């Protein structure tokens, strides 16, 4: 019944659509250069700082979960292992970046460690959907998620925020920046500390029967830059994520299996501009350190070094070409002591055509990767976007691309589970979109060969024969209902099957997100948002425990005391719905939080 109500509301709101002026947004991840979102052919969603600050998300996963085509699972509360599924493909097949620096953990099995990504000083989150290996290389099969932190604004600025709530949760944040013509500096610190609740709980049990599993996260970031002159500048950034997670060993709700993580992400970029081109020379470093004092009783240390040069050359009025060279090394230290490297060359071209008054954007990307461990790879992407003149507001687009995922060093060399004969996965995907003003429908389709999986008979990783096929629809509708109410809504239908034509686990067939925001009272914002998760199962072939078919509703309110100070409160799981996203792992009941933010 709840599903029918939400579907009816989504359909009825389409009938009362009112045209609104969309805010101009620039994205950097679609073509590796700054570009208006209007001129990007790829399917792109952007979560802005305004939305983040109004919704008061705690984690990046919560924010991503509001986007069509995305759902997630987690092994308990804050800080536990989380998997984000983008168009049915799991985390290790999505390239995640922090300010353009790789966040995918080379020592892990799950790609990016989403559980440690807290919301801090984030300017926007860019989600580029579909195969992006032709631009970014390996691990961008499902798409790219780039988390962009805030930059310094001219003058002296700062902010401080604090939040308190359920499970003895405390959040603090500090941000300060200074910028003038020649240089800038910005520093931020965010901390989350909670007693939490049990990570594991048999389905149906009261989570209060078990001990709490706490979590602490401290994320710090610094950015600074210097302008030598109007044509030459240098920018640097450094992010540290420190966390301590309490969790439970498998099927042991009152057990102890703590972990400590200290990851860092650094880059230096020299930028030169002249009348012909813009040139970037960069170095990036991702360091991963994970320590499991109980359970695993071992350390996982990894490092990714990246060096490259990239040029962006405009020609004609609205056309440009991006060309670059890139070199990376991937190393897994400790017990494995293995590494491999990658050399690449990439090219992206974008053109804007006007024919009979209608605008069309065409982009082409190609990339060649040379690994010392795997066969060479050539991938590409083609995108077209057309703005119809005869029907104002009608936009159509199509994208097709090839991509691949490489085995992790653990997949290859672990003494017990590894398989040195593994080869990269290969994926071909495409999508077709039709948008009219605030309404958009997208069909997506991907086929993966040689998918890396785990054989429960041999206890080894292997390349599956056959093809993994995923297809689906995304429907998005965002508008204003009158002057004071904004509606954000999306619906995703997913059909995901493995190489044996069995439905893949942990992916809901239907997902609906709805949010209503009211601004009718001066200085006050009230928002209510809900999510419906359709049928899904804990195992492939619709077997195991059914973990879908539930609705969760949240409430948030913000009030500005003056131009510098605001207060807020939020209630999560407003109707105290009992559910599990993974069988045997606990989720939060009704919980409440309140906070304050001051800025200058």
Tokens standing for residue 193: 């500390």
- The label of the residue with tokens 């190489």 reads 499
Say if residue 7's pLDDT is above 60.
Answer: no
pLDDT per position as a tens digit, 359-384? 999 999 999 999 999 999 999 999 99
DSSP 315-359: ETTTEEEEEEEEEEEEEE-TTT-EEEEEEEEEEEEEEEEEETTEE
pLDDT of 14 above 60: no
pLDDT given for residue 250 in this prediction = 85
C-alpha span between 160 and 163 (Å, rounded): 11
pLDDT at 114 over 80: yes
Question: Which residues, 6 or more positions from 489, have their beta carbon under 8 angstroms from its beta carbon?
Answer: 9, 10, 13, 476, 477, 478, 512, 513, 514, 515
pLDDT bracket for residue 278 (50, 70, 90):
very high
pLDDT band, residue 298 (cuts 50/70/90): confident
- Whether 481 has a pLDDT exceeding 90, the answer reads yes
- Per-residue confidence band for 317, with pLDDT thresholds at 50, 70 and 90: confident
pLDDT at residue 18 in the model: 33
| pLDDT (0 to 100) of residue 108 | 86
What's the confidence (pLDDT) of residue 26?
93
3-class DSSP assignment, residue 167: helix
Please give the share of the chain, as a percent, with pLDDT higher than 70. Answer: 96
Task: State which CATH number among 2.40.170.20, 3.30.420.40, 1.10.10.10, 2.60.120.560 fits the domain covering 38-467.
Answer: 2.40.170.20
Q: How confident is the model at residue 355 (pLDDT cuts 50, 70, 90)?
A: confident
Domain ranges within the chain, ordered by starting residue: 38-467
Number of H helices, E strands in the chain: 5, 35
pLDDT digits (tens, 9 = 90+) for 86-107: 999 999 999 999 999 999 999 9
Residue 230 binned pLDDT confidence (cut-offs 50, 70, 90): very high
Minimum mean pLDDT range among 4-13, 54-63, 505-514, 540-549: 4-13
pLDDT for res 492: 98
536 vs 249, higher pLDDT? 536
pLDDT, mean over the chain: 93
Greatest mean pLDDT among 24-28, 221-225, 314-318: 221-225
> Which stretch of DSSP H or E encloses residue 469?
strand 467-481
CA dist 220 → 112, 149, 173, 268, 546 (Å) = 18, 11, 10, 17, 39
Instruction: Report the pLDDT value the prediction gives residue 307, as an integer from 0 to 100.
Output: 98
Which residue is associated with the tokens 């109980």? 294
pTM here?
A: 0.94
Residue 500 sits at the vertex; the CA angle it makes with 496 and 502, to the nearest 5 degrees, is: 40
pLDDT given at position 335: 84
**pLDDT tens for residues 563-576?**
999 999 999 999 99
Alpha-carbon distance of 441 to 472, in angstroms, equals: 11
**Gap between the Cα atoms of 41 and 426, Å rounded:** 23
Residue 94: strand pairing partners: 143
pLDDT score, position 6: 40
**pLDDT tens digit string along 576-589?**
999 999 999 999 99
Are 588 and 564 in contact by the 8 Å Cβ rule? The answer is: no
Rounded-to-5 percentages of helix, strand, coil across the chain: 10, 55, 35
- For 31-61, the pLDDT digits (tens) are 999 999 999 999 999 999 999 999 999 999 9
pLDDT at 293: 87
pLDDT band at 109 (very low <50, low <70, confident <90, very high): confident
- pLDDT at residue 15 greater than cutoff 70: no
- Parallel, antiparallel, or unpaired: how do β-strands 550-560 and 565-572 relate? antiparallel
Burial class (CB in 10 A: 0-12, 13-18, 19+), 209: exposed
Mean pLDDT value of segment 73-82: 95
């Amino acid at each position: 019944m709840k599903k029918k109500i939400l579907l009816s509301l989504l359909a009825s709101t389409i009938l009362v659509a009112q045209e609104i002026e969309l805010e101009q947004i620039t994205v950097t991840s679609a073509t590796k250069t700054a570009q208006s979102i209007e001129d990007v052919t790829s399917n792109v969603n952007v979560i802005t700082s305004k939305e983040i600050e109004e919704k008061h998300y705690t984690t990046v996963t919560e924010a991503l979960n509001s986007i069509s085509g995305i759902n997630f699972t987690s092994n308990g509360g804050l800080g536990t292992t989380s998997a984000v599924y983008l168009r049915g493909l799991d985390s290790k097949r999505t390239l995640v970046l922090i300010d353009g620096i790789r966040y995918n953990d080379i020592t892990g099995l799950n790609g990016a460690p989403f559980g440690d990504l807290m919301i801090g000083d984030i300017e926007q989150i860019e989600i580029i959907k579909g195969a992006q290996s032709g631009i970014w290389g390996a691990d961008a099969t499902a798409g790219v998620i780039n988390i962009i932190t805030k930059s310094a604004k001219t003058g002296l600025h700062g902010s401080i925020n604090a939040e308190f709530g359920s499970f003895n949760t405390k959040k603090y944040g500090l941000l300060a920046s200074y910028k003038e013509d020649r240089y800038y500096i910005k520093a931020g610190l965010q901390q989350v500390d909670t007693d939490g609740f049990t990570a594991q709980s048999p389905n149906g049990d009261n989570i209060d029967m078990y001990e709490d599993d706490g979590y602490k996260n401290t994320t710090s970031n610094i950015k600074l830059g210097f302008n030598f002159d109007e044509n030459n500048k240098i920018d640097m950034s450094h992010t540290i994520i420190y966390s301590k997670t309490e969790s439970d060993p498998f099927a042991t709700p009152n057990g102890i299996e703590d972990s400590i993580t200290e990851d860092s992400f650094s880059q230096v970029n020299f930028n030169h501009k002249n009348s012909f081109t813009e040139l970037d020379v960069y170095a990036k470093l991702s360091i991963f350190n994970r320590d499991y004092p109980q359970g695993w009783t071992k350390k996982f240390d990894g490092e990714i070094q990246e060096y490259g040069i990239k040029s962006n050359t405009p020609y004609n009025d609205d056309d440009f070409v991006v060309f670059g060279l890139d070199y990376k090394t991937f190393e897994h230290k400790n017990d494995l002591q293995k590494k491999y490297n990658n050399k690449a060359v990439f090219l992206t071209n974008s053109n804007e055509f006007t024919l009979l008054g209608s605008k069309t954007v065409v982009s082409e990307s190609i990339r060649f990767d040379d690994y010392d461990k795997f066969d060479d790879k050539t991938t590409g992407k083609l995108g077209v976007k057309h703005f119809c003149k005869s029907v104002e507001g009608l936009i159509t687009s199509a994208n097709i691309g090839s991509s691949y995922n490489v085995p992790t060093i653990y997949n290859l060399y672990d003494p017990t589970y590894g398989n040195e004969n593994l080869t990269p996965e290969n994926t071909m995907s495409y999508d077709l979109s039709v948008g009219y003003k605030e309404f958009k429908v997208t069909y997506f389709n991907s086929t993966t060969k040689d998918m890396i999986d785990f054989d429960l008979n041999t206890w080894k990783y292997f390349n599956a024969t056959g093809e993994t096929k995923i297809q689906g629809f995304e429907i998005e509708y965002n508008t204003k209902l009158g002057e004071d109410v904004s509606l954000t809504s999306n619906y995703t239908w997913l059909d995901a099957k493995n190489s044996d034509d069995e439905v893949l686990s942990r992916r809901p067939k239907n997902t609906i997100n709805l949010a209503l925001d009211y601004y009718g009272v001066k200085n006050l914002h009230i928002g209510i948002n809900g999510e419906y998760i359709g049928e899904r199962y804990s195992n492939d072939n619709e077997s195991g425990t059914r973990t879908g078919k539930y609705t969760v509703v949240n409430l948030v309110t913000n009030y500005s005391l003056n131009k510098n100070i605001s207060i807020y409160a939020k209630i999560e799981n407003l109707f105290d719905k009992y559910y599990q996203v993974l069988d045997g792992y606990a989720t939060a009941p009704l919980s409440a939080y309140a906070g304050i933010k001051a800025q200058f």
